[in-house]
Amino acid sequence: MTKNSMTNKNGINTLAVHGGETPDPQTGASSPNIVMSSTYVVDQPTSFSVTNMDDDTPYVYTRWANPTIRQLEKKLCLLENAESCLACASGMSASSGVLFGLLSSGDHLIISESNYPGTAEISRQLLPKNSIDVTPVDASNPENIKNAMRDNTRMIWIETPSNPLVKLTDIHAVSRIAKDADALLVVDSTFASPIATRPLELGADIVVHSLTKYIGGHGDAIGGAVLASRKVASEIIGGGMLHYGGAISPFNAWLIMRGAATLPLRMSAHQQNALQVARFLESHPNVELVRYPGLASHPQHELAKRQMHNFSGMIAFRTPSPHSVAKRMMADLEIVHYAVSLGHHRSLIFLLETDDLINSSYRLDGELEREYREIAGPGIFRLSVGLEDAEDIIRDLEHVLG
């Protein structure tokens, strides 16, 4: 029987295919079994505490640990080069587990001024209710983070590339600022995936993923993950992660694991298509601005070349009268779906309206609001370039851009 002895010495393609998976010892089944059982027959006295579990602890209850979910967690550990992984029900359950699990009243959090709206809303609306101070900064310049540090800064939260403006943050530079101050650096690396960037290798303490996006890759399963050292992961569990109840279904874990097997191949196809689409958009007379890390025109292209092994498939672009362009997209797109989410094999596009985001999610004012509006105008299109033929995606967009 094949034993799984994958290590980080194996190549990324091999890890994506075999990492974490082992043929079933009883039947020899080559694909992983889905273990849907919520509970396990126990043959020895077992603790009800979830804070001191390790790999050898027998399975007791699926919200704490499950063999199928465990295989996904091991695969993700190998892909991110992490000691520990906590897979959970969604990207938001990963983010809220980290934020509420590690921050306490009196702590200070520094966070990118724009990022995934759910994360922004937790930080602007819910953390202050728990007496946690939050400072949004433009994280594309690490100096802004340095200047915002306080004695009680416990965590720095960045997203790179960021939603929706595709801004980058220099993970290594920010990790030094965090280490000097004994603060934790969290990176939401959903837009990059472990194929583009492995933040833990660059000095980050925690990586958060929405598995719903590139890692699952097919738009049919919601999931999330937190990756960290064993010590930090146990602090997150101690902070309540498993009690918050965001357990991923073993079926979703299985689907995501199946998707993850082709992640390296898909990422290189996403990048190749996105570069062609970004160049087309840049040359289109009705497009005012294009942000794609793989274009020389991206203001942080040099950092992208250093920090990203793949430029991913996420493009932001702006047109005049975005609302009427969005209406044409809803009515006339034939290949690209006008829908939220990203990282799927299907191309997805959505208009992110600036007033809505500024008022409901980011709550920016002053210089940060001015800078956001300068890039996004009244609204910016977020395009997740899929795996169709680039020529077909381009023809579909050409048709609605006027």
Ligand X SMILES: *Cc1c(COP(=O)(O)O)cnc(C)c1O
Binding region for ligand X (CB under 6 A): 90-92, 116, 118, 159, 163, 188, 190-191, 210, 212-213, 222, 224, 342
Task: Give residue number: closest CB to ligand X.
Answer: 91
| Neighbour tally for 28: CB within 10 Å | 9
Nearer to ligand X, 135 or 163 (CB): 163
CB 312 within 8 Å of CB 166: no
Q: Report the nearest approach of ligand X to the CB of residue 122 (Å).
A: 11
Q: Which is nearer to ligand X, 170 or 188 (CB)?
A: 188
Inter-CA distances, 69 with 48, 51, 92, 253, Å: 20, 18, 18, 6
* Closest CB to ligand X among residues 159, 170: 159
Q: H helices of 210-292, where? A: 230-238, 241-244, 250-260, 263-283
Minimum distance of ligand X from residue 384's CB (angstroms): 9
Residue 193 to residue 187: CA distance in whole angstroms: 11
Closer residue to ligand X, CB minimum distance, 87 or 233: 87
Taking the C-alpha atoms of residue 9 and residue 278, their distance in angstroms, rounded to an integer, is 35
Q: Closest distance between ligand X and the C-beta of residue 121, in Å?
A: 11
Least CB distance to ligand X at residue 166 (A): 11
Beta carbon of residue 13, minimum distance to ligand X (angstroms, whole number): 25
Contact 64, 52 (CB under 8 A): no
Nearer to ligand X, 20 or 224 (CB): 224
Angle at 283 between CA 277 and CA 286, to 5 degrees: 100
Closer by beta carbon to ligand X, 29 or else 340: 340
* Residue 117 CB, nearest approach to ligand X (Å): 9
Within 19-102, residue ranges assigned H as helices are: 67-80, 91-102
